[in-house]
Amino acid sequence: MAGSPAERVRAEPGSDMKIAAVEGAFEDVAEYVADAIVNRGLVIDYRGYIGRMLQRTGKDAGAAKPLYRDAQFFQFCSAVFSRRTMEADPRNIAYCPYVVFVYELAAKPGTVHVGYRRPAAAGSAQSRKALAAVEKLLDAIVREATE
């Protein structure tokens, strides 16, 4: 795999996402994501199959070509992290549940992307600290899945 995990997980300037790219089979990388979540004692609430939905509805939506070979997301939460963020600011409920996504582009088979939406570093110092801890958790999951 190209680069170290620290080099692979990147955020474009001004982006609210961090994404890593890794060479491998989509199914394997998706399972690595699931394992990285479960390895932290977290429960996956929902696994969404975005790629299948887009394939199924592509013709009706006027799609000219497939976008993804496959794409999924994993939805989960942490009682500990969520409580800390919401105690800091009840509006932080907006960041729960957490989502890690995985996709392989149709135009670039063999490269699998894994990432997450970054929680905004906003609000009080306590809120920013709690949200930074959530981002650290999400980052660790992506790094483990792409090692």
Q: What is the pLDDT of residues 82-105, one digit of tens each?
A: 999 999 999 999 999 999 999 999
Q: Which pLDDT score, from 0 to 100, does residue 99 have? A: 98
Q: What is the pLDDT of residues 30-39, one digit of tens each?
A: 999 999 999 9
Order of strands, sheet of 43-48, starting from the edge strand that comes earlier in the sequence: 17-23, 111-117, 98-105, 68-77, 43-48
Q: Across residues 129-147, what is the average pLDDT?
A: 97
- What are the structural domains, with CATH classification, of the chain? 8-145 (3.30.310.70)
Residue 18 pLDDT > 60 = yes
Percent of the chain with pLDDT over 70: 90
Encoded tokens for 112: 């699998």
28-32, 63-67, 103-107, range with the lowest pLDDT: 63-67
Residue 51 pLDDT > 70 = yes
